[in-house]
Amino acid sequence: MQNELNIVGIQADLVWENPAKNLAFFEEKINALSKNTDLVVLPEMFTSGFTMNTEKVAEKMDGNSVSWMLKMAMKKNVAICGSLVISERPFDCAQGDKIFYNRLVFVHPSGKIETYNKRHSFTLAGEDKIYTSGTEKLIVHYKGWKICPLICYDLRFPVWARNTENYDLLIFMANWPITRIKAWDTLLKARAIENMSYVIGVNRTGKDADNYAYSGNSLIIDFFGEEISNLENNEVGIVKATLIKTEQNRIREKMGFLNDRDSFLFTE
């Protein structure tokens, strides 16, 4: 078990539906990171911005963007995670039919890949009409840490994020607009407090083609809801922190809050 986990979130002004430019930006940032970085978190739909134009930007799991993640993870000996538009053709679909996922891809430096399909589709933007929702939560085991990665709108649903697995780190990656940025800040801290867990939230900046503005406000928060690291409004750059597992475990054992949590049964 590794007691300390050095995490980095990269806040970017995503170029609309332009994977090549976005990957070039993230590659430059990742190449500049210190050698002791363990985990890099990218925003939601980091190759394109939050788009409904699936046919234009969708890739397969063996496509260029996931291959790039593999290359960078192995080159820098760091885990990398972010979500992007992935297309698949299920066995029960007609020839040529495809379904699309807003899929989080977690790439280990060993080359191992784990995935999570966004559970809560953002109906306000019609995401539910374009993308297929996921049904399974993912818990990643990495360097002795249990990590739960979720995507944007999932943040509003505490039962889905509930720490029933005794995870050590909760991740949220997002395209969360400035008009609701107070909710972003408040809900991230609430998820940290109620789950007694470190939390990192990585958002984008800039403006997309649908004229939605994003201010970033990426955060790393401890198990008491206190900010460890943050980025100012509209700043492009990184948030980073060293998380200490023994300290989190000490507080959990001392307070015992998780022992008193309610049990919820998730049903479709």
Q: Which residues are catalytic?
A: 44, 118, 152
How much helix, strand and coil, in percent to the nearest 5, is found in the chain? 30, 30, 40
Containing 56, the helix (H) or strand (E) segment is helix 54-57
- Cβ 9 vs Cβ 241: under 8 Å: no
Whether the Cβ atoms of residue 94 and residue 49 lie closer than 8 Å to each other: no
Residue with tokens 């990495």: 142
Query: What are φ and ψ of residue 123, in 5° steps?
Result: -65, -30
Go through 114-143 and write b for each residue having 16 or more CB atoms within 10 A of its CB, e for each that does not. bbbbbbbbbeebebeebbbebeebeebebb
Cα angle 42-45-46, degrees, rounded to a multiple of 5: 45
Would you tell me the crossing angle of helices 64-76 and 19-31 to the nearest 10 degrees? 0
